[in-house]
Structure 1
Amino acid sequence: MSQVDRVPDKWAVLIGVDYYEHPEQPITTPRHDGRGNKIEYKILHGCVNDVLAVEQYLVDTIKVDPQHITKLLAPCPGRKYLSQLPVDSYRDASYDNMVDALKVPRGAKRGDFIYIHFSGHGARATTIFPELKDGGADAVDEALVPSDITRGGNYLRDLEIGVLLQAMVDAGLVVTVILDCCHSGGAIRGDDDPEIGETRGIPNIYKSDPERDLPRTIDSIMKFGRQPSWMHTPQGFVVLAACQELETAKETTDKDYTHGILTYWLLSILRNSPVEISSQAIYERICAKVQDSSRNQTPYLVGDRDRFFFSKKLRSRVYALAVRKAHVEPYRVPIDRLVYLSGGKLHGVEEESEYAILPWGFDLGKRFDDTDILGRVQVKKVMPATSLALFILPCGVRWDDIEDGCAAVLQKLPIAKKSTVHFVTPDENLRVNFKKEWDQLHGDRTWLKVNEDNSSPFFTISVDDSGNFKIRDWSGNLTAVIENALKSLPAANADSMRAVIRRLEHLTRFRITKELANPDIGPGTPSGLIRVEVDTVSEGQSVSGRWFPPAEIGEWVPGVYEVPEKTMFRIAIKNQSSRPLGCVVLDCGAEIGIEHVFPRGEPYRILHPGDHEDALFWMEIASEMRVSAQGGIPVVDTLKVFVSDPPTNIDSLRLQGLKEMEDGRRGGDGEMWAQNLEDLLSFLNTSRLAKSLPARGALKADWETFNVKIRIKPSSN
């Protein structure tokens, strides 16, 4: 059997640590924080149960060979667990055993799947890698806590985990990681809640001993250095963590057997779902269930969101809002029932827009028809990160099928928010045929509306001397660089009208995102959340084997910086508010695409009050634009800085380049894919529900954007 035809094997590493303090075993390596306080590692109750339940699911449902499962446990003596625990059925969850278990399994081959699950305490420590981390000696290491932490074991730190998992990715394994712990460790709010359960995190920041705490893999870590790791190149892996920074990971207390809340809902959802369900769909459902169970706990997902958990198959990258609080309050009469959607002002959701709710787990890469729709809703109130929607024609709603995590796909925008289109031609027959074809293809759908009286249209369409459609934007000139790179659309070709509509929809979505701003902040009214500055770097840097010298920054026109391509500059972002903010930078590129450029591989970077972040950038001109750029046509990108409280994932605002869309290409993996913009219609899946935030002094806005416009000066080569 060839490597291509071989059925991939499945592997698993399952780690559960309940028992940290061992009264009968003396403490040989006590841990203290920076103030000299001894750190205590409380006994947990559900971590071993997590592993046993996950093992049962993997063996019974996913058909993982039990011989391919490595199980590390630290059970409490005398406690009753889901199944018996013969001593020879597992190894101790010590530091050394965890490091060994996270190596590429012996016998694993390229294309195999490996599932890694950790349930236990998460912690933070002062860094032992100051030369490798931003912040130097002031940085912290996030860590998993082994069972022997007070008896000679070390924290399993983030960079060591990164090196171990990177080796799996390099070996061609498809990696899924579940961390049911306070993975950020510190800054825990509050104590254990008796109604919810124990907290899986250590609030103290351990003061590291640089000599004693060096990891076994230190040589690999130093060799790996600052190269992009598995955390920054999200291909071939999925990581689902129990909570975000500043939050707690909790255990259940009201079940027959205690579990971590994340693990409990993960297994509950997987057991009632088809095997090929995407990580994103699972994540949306988990978020809703976890937040119903535990205050201040929002699961966190990075990696291949579109990949199915135990498959290489990728869904089409279609973005939809998720339904939240889907219980639709059955005591209300149908006409008064409502749901919340996971997108708000920050994501461009508009009042009076309409969404179709589809069954949970529905493959959004497929076309859907009226029989698939559970109900239609209209947005009535838009809040910062969530929206409230009422049902349209409630008598036809399939109430019992609407669940948390169902996808809500945008069907109609209010007329005032659409881009108006005017067709300009002296030929009346051509104008009539244009309108007829437009109507037959439902051109007046989500983003667009034909305006026949030519009153301030955003786009005008005409037919040039060669008989091709010509598109101009409101300024009278669609970017010449793009226009020269795109294929012509002959007006006489029946398929061209469909392509024109897709092109206009893509341009409209780009414009809406690029112009997105908090409507509660008037022009010239600073919110006070952040300060943004643009500057060069003190010296050049090597990134992934490429050298970028410091940029010489000038002003091209007022408000627009000029930076030579392939040179490095920085955007300094300071949180000058009194609350933590999530920070993201999007590049709204001249090739009419939107890319998440900071932070790499993470949905956002947390900036604590007073924190200062230097985001480094270099710009390059796309190949299809180079000839035009060197001919003098300006290439201008907008780097759009977002900050929000609560921190919010805005990755669904990403948009592939216009030429990529029209060529039907998926960047990076060579797969052909059809990104039908009729389906790609809605914005962000947020990672939490909006909370009501009290006004704090003059800081009334809870999200803000700042645009940095960069003209890229082409190099001669």
Structure 2
Amino acid sequence: MSVPQPSSNLCHFFIVIGIGYYAPVDAALGKRGRLRSLRGAAADAEAMLTYINNLKLPQPPQIYKLTSSIPTSRESKEPPEPEHERPTYENIVRVFREVATAVEKAKRSIVHIHFSCHGIKVRTDYPQIKGKSGFDEAIAPYDYNRTGRPLRDVELSMLIRNMTKHGANVSTTFDCCHAGSVSRGDTEKSSSESENEDAGLDECDYTSNTRGSTDTEYGQEKWRDSIYPLHIDNELICLFREVWDDHELQHNSTWLLPVGYDMFGACCSDEKATEEAFDGKFNGIFTRTFITVLDEFRVEGRTPTHDKIRKKVLSSFRKEQIRQTPVFVGNSDRHWLRATNGSNVTSLSVIKADARRVILSEGQAQGVTKGSTYAIYQSLDEPIGDISGKPLVEIDQVLADKCLAKWVTQSCQAFSGADAVLVKYRLDNLQIFTSPVTPRSDIPGAGKYDELRRCTALYGSDMIDFIEDPSPSQDNTAPFRVSVNSSLKYQLTRSSDGAPIPMFPQSESADRFHDYLMQLARFETLKKIHNPFYSAQMEDCLEIYINGKNIMSHCAWEPSQLESLPLLDVKTGKVIVKLRNRINDTLNVTGINFSPFWGTNIFYPLYEDFDTIPGREERNTTWDVAALPESWDNSTDYVDCVKFFISAKSLQINTFQSVMMGPIGEDITGMFRGELDLEELLRNLGAPDRGFERSRERESSQSSPWITLMFKTRTIAGEA
């Protein structure tokens, strides 16, 4: 079988702008508005070009480069680039318009725009959007010192809008400071200032006066007559007003939130984008890290989403302890340089494949599980949704950061970089050790193990793997063990040390104890369900207050994070809970409490399967914290785990049977909500990574984003 090649009707356009040298100051401006030159900006542009040229795209990309390098001669005041290749305001606008025209002619197109330069803050030229006293975020072009004319955020978005309205997918990277921090600079200002001064270059002005929208700018209308104003249509004005009015969102952004495109930024509003020497050559730290991350994905044959790029770049900055925080605003689920629009479809990338095996890009650390099934999409721009005719692979070995799969269909192949889209996710079963198949006669209650095996064979053991005692060469990984105590009762113990599990019921009956184990499996399964592939945009969607205290610092997005978080102390009685929707969209929320009695209870909402919380609104609820039982061992904490399922659609937790179990030896079953069907619950979560069966019809099977949020409470003595 031949390997299908990427579609050839996808056009890629790149605009690469590096403003390393700023033209000398016009005498009419004096010293106001002077911006010093940047030693790494032009090098950033060259590094980006090298990355682009190493890409294997369906057809050669169309590249538009504007750079201004620092003059090599002390006597020269001009960069070595010819005038039409310098990033003046007029040249930048011209290039953007040329690309917009080319995009209109192309059938399908991807556009990426890179800026390495100074970012500044100027008084707004668009009071109809930002008010008379508002400010514009802006790029300082090469000729800013001469003209005082910045490229403003509204203008930039308008230029990009001319591309997106013709169907282009546009992404941007800005290695420049947020307006509030004046200018991109070196990590060592004093040395760079002295070197620039010695070379006869512009010296740096780090004061807050370094901005274009000064009185001087408004007094120089002659600079603007030939190219101003750019036409801003009413629809764009309305979109900007909507975003600009949301001060909470604006506070967290690098620029005004992009409208219709995605943006990577070098730093937050109170930080500076810095540059430093790498192997004797200056680059912007953000650009260098960003390209390094992209190259790693390229070499591995992986196609990352914007969110994966963001996380890896941010991780690198934290590891190196760099004092700036890269940010991303836009569609975090969109694939880098792909035509696929953002969705919550979970996909891996093919690293290597032959006729027998496939190696995929992620592993245990990313939540991949053995037995899950993926469909292979061979084309770079093939629409995801219909899996009919797609070759399927099943994961049969999961490593730390990658996984191996076998073909479900015979004689298939896949090229490196192809998408492997999740079709069905298999949850790991709960593993429990039992005694050997043929127990020795001296084992207490040897016959009881046979009774339990007969129950397992008769009733099934869905969600549980009963494992016979491993040989010395096998890993002892199962957390629990079934044993028979001296009273000939079944009990559950820790496999590590044989200690009985606190509060877990014992029973003389194999049938009843089998039921207990099945309840335990459902309890553990619901507790560990999380979405390892959730959209980053969901992370801060809900805010929780317990008895008036914001507890988000106690919360985890997946179960494995819980162990490192502090416990939240609560007293017996009613706990007052406030849920606040922090986004504009409606959220569907269900709250579940997991008690030390191995029982679950849906405490929010009380009488429905889920509750919708409209955008920016709040809901109040309570749950009862029971008094500490007299038999409770005071040497251990009485810990409850609380979990919220949060989604943009109805979760329908009613498909899971909620089971409450009382003190040892007593079984209390109550609060049944629907059928005992965990698979139905997983399907109703609406996400492909949890039991979601992708449609075989020719239609989009995009799912609603969802996330889980968890925290632990510790009951302390006293009245609420």
TM score, norm. by length of structure 2: 0.48
TM score, norm. by length of structure 1: 0.48
Greater Rg, structure 1 or structure 2? 2
